[in-house]
Structure 1
Amino acid sequence: MQTPPRLPVPVHLDEVLNALARNARLPVPLLRRLLQHGGAREEAARWRSDLTEQVALEIDTLGNGKASHAPACNPDLPVGMKRRLARSDDAAVRSALAGRDAPLPRDLVEAFVADPSAQVRQAAAANRRSPSDLRARLATDPDPAVRAELAQWWTDAPEEVRRERAHEENRKWPGSPADNAVFPPETMRRFATDPDPRMRALALRDPELPAELVERLAQDDEARVRREAAAHPNLPAPAGLLLLGDADMRTAQAVAGSPHLPREAMEAILAVAEL
């Protein structure tokens, strides 16, 4: 068996473990070890799209039912676990299930639109995947917040529902120039030596950026540049391992969550955390 590489002790170990739990390439045996960490267990429950009924049940059991809200927020949760959570006494858990934009069994949708909690009915009103005939029942809901939610999200609703639509528009936030810029790859590569850190970070949007440039940018003084380098597919493995100990939390998270992180590095992270 190959010995895991030696890692620097991550400054933000908990956040690194949480990011590793979201890593889609994490093998199931390593995921099961990681579930012993409470924060990572909640992240896995909330974000992983590959949870089986068995693993989902393990997560719920390990959390003694206290982490039930996290899996309820996962639209890809197995149907059996969704049914289990739908019986929860916690309206926040039921509303999290009801409001995911994911298909639900018809009997669960029926239960949610008739739920005694307005919070749950409001969440059901926002689910764009629910059958139209069931959503229509909420058009006459006694709670005005439920009717307003339905009108906002049911864009092809009948006219009587659309009349209830809220008129407040979503606030639009402009991005930075670097985020909105579109350049050919050969131009982006020239930004690797730009004095502006925003532009150096933009160079890393080129998926074909040579490994030597990625490695150089992984040592940049600016955290935003190192953060972009951390998730780049051409980042050499040794440079990525060093970034796991980066003082910038989001940089360390970007490495741990990268689909390019070698299994040996995943093993090493769990070893550092004694999991």
Structure 2
Amino acid sequence: MTPERLAAVAVPELALRAGVVRRGERAVPEEIPIAFSYGGTTHAVMMATPADLEDFAVGFSLTEGVISDPAEIIGIEVVDEGRGIDVQVTLADPVADALRSRRRQMAGPVGCGLCGIESIEQALRPVRSVGDGNLRLRSEEIVDAVRTLGGAQHLNRRTHAVHGAGFYVPGKGLVAIREDVGRHNALDKLCGAVITAGLRGADGVVVVTSRLSVEMIQKTAILGSRFLLAVSAPTRLAIEAAEQAGMTLVAVVRGEDFEVFTYADRILFPGAVADVA
């Protein structure tokens, strides 16, 4: 069971507003070390908001390639260690053996350079193809998805300091949302929530409140969604990765305006597309 940790706490502040100085309180998000351990060995430590940690464990394990199917996780135990939380994940024996073997292969003499090469190749690993499908988005659905996500961010409404990731299904609206101080963490949590709920990534749209880096494309592709919407701009590498994955990338969604960077044929616009001279 997840430890009873607050996602946000009230802290004292001294604020200047309209020329008047006042003492008061402000809600700020919690940020603590979250360790993911497999077979008793710590695999990674993330600075994250201590909420939805089971979803986080499933999503992280999947998007980081530890597992290929949620059924390969036998159990998850969340252990409060005081200054941080250890999420202990038990894997099926063949998967656990493969992870141990991979760790041994990556462990080499100090200074050999192999670990750095492994890390670079992992960061630039090929993006999974999401293929094509029948799902198309109307421009008003893109606007609605981002607007709905903003309205559903209860933690951000209190703190104004966390990212959000949502799963939007046309005709149903926003069916899942997760928040975290880290944009990657929020997306991992969302992936875990979507998979645990038995939803298919191909049936909906991932929408995030952050900029789009290549990792966000990689994680969305693993979930299987063909659409990724964001309020901020993408990097060049993110655009290349979306092209490779077959993913429609929509960014800089502000009000009723947005920009499409890849596979724009899946977007149904209300009028003709005009070329800028």
Which structure has the larger Rg?
1
Looking at secondary structure, tell me which structure has more strand per residue.
2
TM-score by length of 2: 0.26
TM-score by length of 1: 0.26
Higher RCO, 1 or 2 (CA under 8 Å, sep at least 6)?
1
Looking at secondary structure, tell me which structure has more helix per residue.
1
